[in-house]
Amino acid sequence: MEWRASHILVKSKSLADDLYQRLQKGGRFEQLAKQYSTCPSRSKGGDLGWFGTGKMVKPFEEAVQKMPRNKPSRPVKTQFGYHIIKKTGQR
């Protein structure tokens, strides 16, 4: 199984919570990723491309496996910070 996802990575939980709320009110995921994410994927609107099992850190991968497509997740904590994830594909 492979998944495709985008994410917004930030250092603080409060900023992650704020961004999640903005997304719930209609904010554009790609625009917020470009503006706030600390990951190099920010230049692509947070797009991480396709990845398989074991390619991402465990909390991130587990969240992607369980979530519906095209609906932003609540913040997910990893050793890199807080991710808001949007699964965009599964194959």
**Max CA separation in the chain (angstroms):** 33
Within 14-54, strands assigned E span 47-52
Per residue in 35-44, pLDDT tens? 999 999 999 9
- pLDDT average, residue stretch 19-44: 98
- pLDDT average, residue stretch 71-85: 98
CATH number of residue 57's parent domain? 3.10.50.40
Domain housing 33: 2-90
Tokens encoding 24: 């719930």
Q: How do beta strands 2-10 and 81-90 pair?
A: antiparallel
pTM over 0.85: yes
- Tally of CB atoms within 10 A around 90: 13
Counting the structural domains of the chain, the total is 1
pLDDT for residue 36? 98
